[in-house]
Amino acid sequence: MKAAFPFFMVVVLLLAVPAANASLRDSNSWLSSAPPEQPAAPDTLHNRALEEMLTQFKQKPDTQELPYESWTFNVHRYLGYAIVAATVTQVILGSITWDARKAGTEPSTKTAHKYIGYTTAGLSLAQSSLGYTNFWKLREKESGKTKRIVHLGLSTLATAGFVTAAALAYNARKEINDGTAAAEGKTFDDLYSKHRTAGIVSGASVLLTVVVIEW
Amino acid sequence: MNRLVLIVVLLLTSLSLSTSGAVTLQLKSGQVRYEVQLKTLGIGGDNVSAVNRSVIGKVSVAEDGRVEGGLVVPVIGFDSNNTKRDKDVANILRYKKYPAITFEVVDIAKGDIERILESDSGAVNIRAKIAAAGGSRVYDLVLHFHSAGTDAVRFTTQLAAKFSDFGVDPPRLGLFLKTAPDRIDLSGDLVFQVEKETQDQP
């Protein structure tokens, strides 16, 4: 029996060591973060062609930034809200000014209407430039294209309207100041009705264009 | 003298005949698409799909059958008809750090390449590595091919991948009311122009 003991131990060791190894190997693979069925990814560093394509791709800034997160979109959005606020203010001030003039009184809103008007026209020009840039950035995006085209058309009309309204108001004021209006017998309606129409058209276009793009 | 001329002519002829050809497949047009099923409170299914037509692709096949190149898919190019969703998906895929998804063939039998170039249609088995959001995985794919006019081949394939394959958590929206299972179905439909290059062998 004593002689058989060392032989017994050797047999136990021979059986136990491989089993322990297998158990350790299994536990390692279980601990590994990769799923067990994950095939080993071959070394693809040799794929120079793909690396070159990636390098070229990364050199194009348009491909790195969501257009909606770029500064041109953010500024365009908030400038748009500012223009809406300015337009509403202008419509109110313009109506007060118009009514006061028609009643033959000097309106207190005249100066505010004038400077907010020039500011709105200037902001609209800047806004349109940003808008065209954004439109170009999204030229390949099919979804929402019709909406963007309508937005572009209405916004262009609004900007053109604001600039026209400002030019007409400037011209009317000039005719009053240099006496041409009085010499030609022009009435207030003759001088400002086109300015009013341009203001109303551009104001309506601003509101519509925001509704179209935000809808 | 005549014999010398004949030898030179034969030598030049043999050189011109021993040209070998690598093949380049240049992406002409096509799209890749993903489809995800969103569940509200774990019930029902709302399929969301997006198309990406901004894929860049070029694959070179050397004479020994070695394949290089692949596809570069801009993450921000997916269009699901919902701007906010597209932005969310781009952020989920960490587009600022990993702006492109890449696809590369890592294993294709040489005989299959010849079949693609010579047959009108068929299907071959390939292994392809897709890398996105900093993770990558190799997939076994069935690549269907059809002739698409003169020297053009149209490839179509689809596979069911997992967000977790790329180390990305499945999307959860609206205070976790809407969740997606760990599955994203990908498909591709791409037309490549085949350009055979001839190289003089020394």
Among A115, A111, A113, smallest CA distance to A94 is for A113
Chain A, 106 to 145: residues with Cβ < 8 Å from chain B are: 140-144
pLDDT at res. A27? 31
| pLDDT tens readout for residues A172-207 | 999 999 999 999 999 888 999 999 999 999 999 999
Query: Chain B within 8 Å of A49 (Cβ-Cβ)?
Result: yes
Nearest chain A residue to B24, by CA: A49
CA dist B96 and B83 (Å) reads 17
Show contacts of A101-109: CB within 8 Å, 24+ apart: A101/A188, A101/A192, A102/A188
Nearest to B27 by CA among A57, A135, A60, A139: A57
What pLDDT does residue B65 have?
80
What Å distances lie between residue B24 and A110, B61, B112, B170, B202, CA to CA? 71, 6, 15, 37, 22
pTM: 0.63
Q: Which residue has the higher pLDDT, A88 or B39?
A: A88
Which pLDDT band holds residue B74 (cuts at 50, 70, 90)?
very high
CA distance A64 to A83: 30
Residues A135/A152, Cβ–Cβ less than 8 Å: yes
SS3 at position B119: coil
Pairing of strands B152-161, B184-199: antiparallel
- Is residue B156 within 8 angstroms of chain A, CB to CB? no
Interface predicted TM-score (ipTM) over 0.85? no
Which residue of chain B is at minimal alpha-carbon distance from A47?
Answer: B68
Tens of pLDDT, residue by residue over B140-157, are 999 999 999 889 999 999
Q: Residues B92, B95, B99, B103: what is their CA dihedral angle, to the nearest 10 degrees?
A: -10
> How far apart (Å, rounded) are the C-alpha atoms in residues A123 and A128?
9
Q: Does B28 touch chain A (CB under 8 A)?
A: no
Residues in B closer than 8 angstroms to A143, CB to CB, are 79-83
Which domains does chain B carry? 20-199 (2.40.128.110)
For residue A94 the two structure tokens come to: 């313009």
Mean pLDDT of chain A, nearest integer: 80
Determine the pLDDT at residue A137.
83
- Across B61-89, average pLDDT: 87
